[in-house]
Amino acid sequence: MRLVAILDRCLAVERRAGALYRRFAEVLSGHDDLRAAWLRLAGEEDEHAAAIAIARATVDPAVGAQSHVDGWDEALARAEQVLTRSEQGPVTSLDDQLALALELESTEIDMLRQVVLQTSGQAYETSAATSRHALELADLAARHSTDSRVRLREAMVRAHQRLDTGPL
């Protein structure tokens, strides 16, 4: 896929993720800690989108049209599917919110963002910063849910983070 096309898709995913987390915050009442966490995560998604927008605006048109970033269609499609599913219906329970957010974080979208930002010559987050985002969601799930779907996704996110960072 051409670099400019992948930047466009990544930008859309990050914006949609931020909107999703803001929507989660809006429907919560009586959970100030969760509302604050969703809004903080939405802000981080907005920062990711801003970095991608800068990369998209500053990439040399000839480079962007000719450069290819291969092997990421599936990861992007998976993130887009999770977002589409969350946008199609009401997400009223906290367990549903956590399950969707953890599923989104289990996609490789953060790693893809780092690759396309690096490819386009922009600064990108370290894997530690990316891990913090996913681990914050896992911690929220551990504190606020006993739902088996949520706990399974939490365990998967934690296992993925261990694989990325090596032995503890």
For residues 153 and 125, give the distance between their C-alpha atoms in angstroms, rounded to a whole number. 24
Whole-model pTM: value is: 0.83
User: 3-165 sits in which CATH class?
Assistant: mainly alpha
Predicted pLDDT at 125: 56
Predicted pLDDT at 120: 62
Predicted pLDDT at 124: 57
Q: Taking the domains of the chain in order of start, what are their residue ranges?
A: 3-165
Of 59, 22, 37, the residue nearest 140 (C-alpha)? 37
